[in-house]
Every structure is written in C-alpha cells, then in structure tokens.
Amino acid sequence: MPELRKDPVVGRWVIIATERVRRPSDFTVPHYPRKGGPCAFCAGREDETPPEILAYRDESGERDGPGWSVRVVPNKFPALRIEGDLERRGLGIYDVMNGVGAHEVIIESPDHDRDLDALPASAVAEILRAYRERIADLKGDDRFRSVLVFKNHGVEAGASLEHPHSQLIATPVVPLVVADELHFARSYHGYRERCLFCDILTQEIEGRARILAEGTHVVAFAPFAARVPFETWIMPRRHAAAFEQSDDALLADCADVLRTVLRKLDRALSDPPFNLLLHSAPFGASDNPSYHWHFEIMPKLTGMAGFELGSGFHINPVPPEDAARMLRDTAID
Amino acid sequence: MPELRKDPVVGRWVIIATERVRRPSDFTVPHYPRKGGPCAFCAGREDETPPEILAYRDESGERDGPGWSVRVVPNKFPALRIEGDLERRGLGIYDVMNGVGAHEVIIESPDHDRDLDALPASAVAEILRAYRERIADLKGDDRFRSVLVFKNHGVEAGASLEHPHSQLIATPVVPLVVADELHFARSYHGYRERCLFCDILTQEIEGRARILAEGTHVVAFAPFAARVPFETWIMPRRHAAAFEQSDDALLADCADVLRTVLRKLDRALSDPPFNLLLHSAPFGASDNPSYHWHFEIMPKLTGMAGFELGSGFHINPVPPEDAARMLRDTAID
C-alpha cells in the first residue's frame, strides 16, 4: 500500500509509492521507441488489460470484447490503491495517510495510431463524456475529495505508452494546485462578488489578442501569464464549477474546440509533446460561485530547471500574444 | 525589457522574457554534446564573459584576468534585467511589472572538468562564501525582495553549459515557493511558538532513519515527504533564517557536508543530473523566528508528467528511508 505524506513546509502531499520501484523506468527518464501497434490497448487485445470499468460500444458488443470506441480500465501500475481506508495519522510533527485512490486509464480509441487530434470531433466528444461519467461515479465514493483528469502526450511529457490514452486519479485530499486556485478565486470573489475566471474570460474576449478559437459554449485562449510557450486554456463561457455537470451540447462544443487547438499545435509545432489537464471543482464544491472548470494544455518545449523548481517562477520565452497569433494563423484542414 | 506577469488564478509570477526567444534552445529541450573545454568560463578566457562582479584570486591577479578560484559574472542571457524601475501596474484584472532583477553566474572553478564534488572542501567553502557575499550585496538594492541561488547539473536538470557553475536570480517579488514556506512556517510558529524547521531537525536526529550525514553545524537528511528519489536537504542545527548571516565556520562545515552528499550521489547513482537550491529568508525577514535557511538537492531521475503538473502532488517511487540508507552505505574516498 503506497503512503501519502504531507510536507509540513509547504503543505504539499507526496505519494510514496514503493510498489512502483520495480519498474525500471521509474529511475530514468523513459525513452520508448516509436514501435507501432498492436499493444494491450488495441482492439482485439482486451484480455491484456484489467477488466474494463466503462466502455462505449455498440449494442451487440460484449464486455471486455472488441467493438468499443472508448474504454476505461484500471491502471496496471496505480499510483494509489482503490482498496482500503484512509487511516489519517500523525508521526510526530508529520502527517500521513494510506495511499488510497483511483487510478484509471481512458483508452481514447481502439486504433493505436490515431491521436486525439486525428479523431473526428464526435469521437473526442465521446472521450469527454467518458471523463464526465467516471468523475460522476467516483464522486459517490466518500473517501475521495477530487479527481484530476490528465493526458501525457509524447515521451518528453511523461507518456510511457504510445497508444493514445488519458488518465484520471481520484485523491483523498484536494490537490495543492486546485486548492491554490480555489483560495485565490474565493479571495477575488470575496472582494468583487464576481467569479475571477468569468472576469478573465470577459477581458480576454474584449481584448482578443490572446484568443485562439471560439465555440458556442467554450473559448480557447492563451493565458495572460502563460507559464510555457503556447500554453492554452479552454473555458466554458457560462459559469460552471464542476465539469461533470456539463451537458452533451457543451461537451460537443468543447470537443470541437479542443480538437481545433490540438490540430493547430500539431501543425504549428510538429506534433509537440504536451500535457492536458482538467481542473474541476473538488467534490463538495460543485456549486461554488467562485470556481470555474477549465482545461489547461501545456506544450513541453522547454525544460524545468533549478530556478523554476526552487522559486515557483516560470520563464516563458514566447509572449502569449505571439503564441496566440501564430496559432490563429495556422491553417488546419 | 522582459515583463513580470502575475497569474491571478494561483498568484504565480511568470517572466515573459521576449529576448530569450532568439536562442534556439528555448524551443527544445537542450542536448549539448559532452565536448570538454576550454570554454568561456575557463581560466585564460575571461574576456569572453561580461566583466566580473566578484572574484576570489590571489593578490597578484588582475581583475578579469586569470588566477581566480571562484568568479561571478552577469548572465549573458539574463532572465531579468538589472537596469530600470519596477513600474508595477494593472492591466484590467491583471498585474504586471518590469522584469527587473539580477541574474548572475557563479563559476565554481577555473577547471572545466572539475565538478563540485571533485573539488576540495576548502574550494566548496569558497563558493558558499561567494553566494554569501553576492546575496549580502544584492540586499542593498531596494528593488529586490529575495535571491534564489541554484545549480543545474546535467542536461536533464536544465544545464545548458557543462563548465561547473551555479546561478543566482534576485527578484523584485518573493517567489511563490519561498512565500509558501514562510506562510506554513509562520502558521506553525503561531501555534507552537517554535520553528517548524528546528522541530523537523530534532525529530530527524532522534529518529535517524533519514539522516545522511552530520557535521558540527549542519545536518543532511532525506525529507519525510521527499518529492523525488534521493532528495536531500542540508540545514543548520542552530536556528538561522538568512544564509548570508552565516559565519565562516558554518560555511566550512556546510561545504564539507554538501561535498559528502554530492560524492555519495555521484557514486550511488553514477553522476546523476540534479538541481541544487538555496532557500533563504527574503530581504526584510532575516531575523524571522519561524524561517530557517536550507539547501535542497533534487536529483532528476524521473520526469514530471501531467499529474504532477496539474495537481502539485508528486509521486516518489523510492521511500526516503531507503534512499538515506543507500546513501549512508555508499562509500566515498
């Protein structure tokens, strides 16, 4: 059972995951060869993964058989374990709890070689619906406080398998980054009685310099203080704290804009490595008037060195206005 | 002039450094070949760097000439600019200021091939004295609030030049990571009326499981919630908020322990890439009863992927007790 330990100096939780040490890749930055399929995530090899948690397939298909378009399975090497109690306890001045959580893989397509940006918009919408369904389900487990959905694309961004997939991790504590967002958003709301994210969107839409793509329900833009070149956020126009409360129309529009952004990044930067992150309200804050869910897309073009690690500052060599203009100007078919 | 922009969502400052875009390495993770010296940092090529800010050399040596043991020069590609006023201003809901700061390179040795761990302890102590002297000097510039000293060793840790060197950046705002440490330490001190770091050290010395090396004045240990395998902290035994107030005896002892830790890491992990960070009290908090300066050494053996980025959680596959035991057992000559 992995252990969750809290760093008392900065309030950060660390998963001390002893089970993972057996994978040799844990000691080195992985460099897997681009070797093509089929792999355990491909159609027809469903018996090579743990039994599925969820799949979208036509009526005739059987559980853990082929015929699916999106399939969710437990991670074979989970960072946190689904069984067990939290058992929060102290060790002198330190805080520790059992490493309980859910770690799932969302296989985005039965096809080994079709990345998110190469799928039709309807297939991307299905993936977003799978995110929604899994978050809504995990919300029912009262050991969990929050779910983070994320995607690592490319070795440099931490992908260790090439078949297109996202992951989600449900945690028994609110992650520090989400807690910080909640804190600043609440403080802004306390002063202005408006949602910080709604105000950001209003100012971005007025200014236009950092707007990248607009849908009926969502907007993609480069954030004012982008940490990395070509960082892009996608945010719903209407205030909404919890992603899992989105309706189908919103998800379809979001899929369309997400696909547009990924296609533009692919064309402009030749298939860059990137991380996709979904920040949504923790459980119990679904109706929060100050929080607003959003996707963050972080291309990995530069490394993180000592200054960034030690200070929390980031150095971004590309102004987000330039990045947004370059992506607006990038033609996609 | 680069710009400092504040992310309103998490209170994080980003340096939007347009000048740096001209370096092609800013768009890709750098992969310089191990090509050996001599380079611009080597003895005899002092005219290839900007004029020195500080150097330790024997009496007969001339400014910007050879004969030095440690030499500090401005960074040729600074993240922040030394000239100009801060000009804090708002842009609608956003906050921005001029990218004013100091960015200096501490050349650790005239010898291209002698890393920190291969230098005699007295030479390492000289480097620490150079840190101290530069921080004390920059403290006099009332535009600055804080200095971060850091070292990137190895390409994977962000080094772009192989000649052994550290860097420092003086910033006009307190870095988020240091602000977080101050916040938690103050909150602990408010409740217990003791320094959190002093209490950590007491518990570690009693428990011994994570102790790595002990000097007369400083102790090296693996932190309880280590973020990465073999993370190591070095902390003075006596409460001290500001590194620049250290006396020579403390720095000599610290150099000795730092060198021991780096030699053990080198032997145990075959010259791993790492980041070395110095966390010291911001200017104006030098006598803070709740803050305590320390070095953090973060080997870079694993990558940072979407989950870490999006949540602030870290996944550490090696328990710090195991890492400390392995390093204690590693023989160095």
Q: pLDDT tens across B245-297, in order?
A: 999 999 999 999 999 999 999 999 999 999 999 999 999 999 999 999 999 99
| CB A20, CB A103: distance < 8 Å | no
pLDDT, tens digit, 9 for 90 and up, residues B31-67: 455 678 789 999 999 999 999 999 999 888 899 999 9
From the list B40, B42, B31, the residue with the least C-alpha distance to B77 is B40
Backbone angles phi, psi at B308, to 5 degrees: -65, -50
Q: Name beta bridge partners: B72.
A: B54, B106
- Give the architecture (CATH level 2) of A35-77+100-333: 2-Layer Sandwich (3.30)
- Is the pLDDT score of B26 beyond 50? no
From the list B106, B104, B120, B68, the residue with the least C-alpha distance to B260 is B120
Q: Give contacts of A296 with chain B, Cβ < 8 Å.
A: 310
Q: How far apart are CA B261 and CA A257, in angstroms?
A: 50
Instruction: Report in angstroms the alpha-carbon separations of B43 from A166, A209, B56, B111, B321.
Output: 51, 48, 13, 7, 42
Q: Give contacts of A227 with chain B, Cβ < 8 Å.
A: 7, 12, 14
Ramachandran assignment for A36, one of left (phi > 0), alpha (psi -120 to 50 degrees), beta (any other): left
Domain boundaries defined on chain B: 100-333
Q: How far apart are CA A282 and CA A138, in angstroms?
A: 11
- Chain B nearest CA to A156, separation (Å): 8
Asked if A12 lies within 8 A of B227 by C-beta distance, the reply is: yes
Instruction: Report in angstroms the alpha-carbon separations of B134 from A86, A151, B36, B131, B168.
Output: 48, 42, 28, 5, 9
- Is the pLDDT score of B228 beyond 80? yes
Asked if A29 lies within 8 A of B156 by C-beta distance, the reply is: yes
Asked if B156 lies within 8 A of A18 by C-beta distance, the reply is: no
pLDDT, tens digit, 9 for 90 and up, residues B231-253: 999 999 999 999 999 999 999 99
Q: How far apart are CA B288 and CA A331, in angstroms?
A: 56
If you ran DSSP here, which 8-state letter would residue A87 be given? -
Q: What is the mean pLDDT of chain B?
A: 92
What is the DSSP pairing of strand A146-153 with strand A165-171?
antiparallel
Catalytic residues of B: 165
Q: Which residues contact A130 (CB under 8 A, 6 or more apart)?
A: A54, A56, A70, A72, A106
Q: Give contacts of A27 with chain B, Cβ < 8 Å.
A: 229, 301-302, 317
pLDDT of residue A298: 96
pLDDT of residue B215: 98
From the list B318, B256, B317, B294, the residue with the least C-alpha distance to B177 is B294
- Residues B271-280: b if buried by 16+ CB within 10 A, e if exposed: ebbbbbbbbb
pLDDT of residue B132: 98
Chain centre distance of CA B9: 27
CA dihedral defined by A25, A31, A32, A34, rounded to 10 degrees? Answer: 170
Q: Which residues contact B250 (CB under 8 A, 6 or more apart)?
A: B217, B218, B236
pLDDT of residue B94: 95
From the list A297, A309, A162, the residue with the least C-alpha distance to A220 is A297
Helices of type H across B10-157: 121-138
Task: Round to the nearest angstrom and report the end-to-end CA distance of chain A.
Answer: 48
Please name the residue of chain B whose CA is at the shortest distance from the CA of residue A166.
B306
| CB B227, CB B314: distance < 8 Å | yes
Asked if B12 lies within 8 A of A313 by C-beta distance, the reply is: yes
Q: Name beta bridge partners: B169.
A: B103, B148
Number of Cβ within a 10 Å radius of residue A290? 25
Q: Please name the amino acid found at residue A153.
A: H
Hey, of A200, A291, A315, A326, which one would you mutate to test binding to chain B, going by the most B CBs within 10 A of its CB?
A: A315
pLDDT of residue B141: 95
Whether omega before A38 lies within 30 degrees of 0, making that bond cis, reads yes
pLDDT cut 70: percent of chain B above it: 95
| Residue written as token pair 């902290």 | B233
From the list A333, A304, A298, A2, the residue with the least C-alpha distance to A150 is A298
Q: Could you tell me the pTM of the whole model?
A: 0.93
Higher pLDDT, B184 or B305: B184
3-class SS of residue A259: helix
Q: How far apart are CA B97 and CA A322, in angstroms?
A: 19
Asked if B94 lies within 8 A of A180 by C-beta distance, the reply is: no
CA torsion sign, A117 to A118 to A124 to A130? negative
Tally of CA atoms within 13 A in the half-sphere of A258 that contains its CB? 31
From the list A264, A283, A19, A308, the residue with the least C-alpha distance to B304 is A308
Q: Give contacts of B191 with chain A, Cβ < 8 Å.
A: none
Backbone angles phi, psi at B245, to 5 degrees: -95, 5
Q: Give contacts of A9 with chain B, Cβ < 8 Å.
A: 181, 184-185, 196-197, 200
Hey, of B10, B81, B210, B318, which one would you mutate to test binding to chain A, going by the most A CBs within 10 A of its CB?
A: B10
pLDDT of residue B24: 36
The first and second tokens of residue A299, run together, are 């291309």
The first and second tokens of residue B122, run together, are 């007295």
Average pLDDT for B131-154 = 96
3-class SS of residue A277: strand
pLDDT of residue B28: 46
- Chain A nearest CA to B61, separation (Å): 33
Asked if B305 lies within 8 A of A12 by C-beta distance, the reply is: no
Does domain B100-333 sit in CATH 3.40.50.970? no
Catalytic residues of A: 165
Low-confidence ranges of chain A (pLDDT < 70): 19-34
Q: What is the mean pLDDT of chain A?
A: 92
Provide ipTM, 2 decimals: 0.91
- Chain A nearest CA to B59, separation (Å): 34
Chain A with chain B: Cβ pairs closer than 8 A: 275
Q: Give contacts of A157 with chain B, Cβ < 8 Å.
A: 305-306
Q: Name beta bridge partners: A214.
A: A219
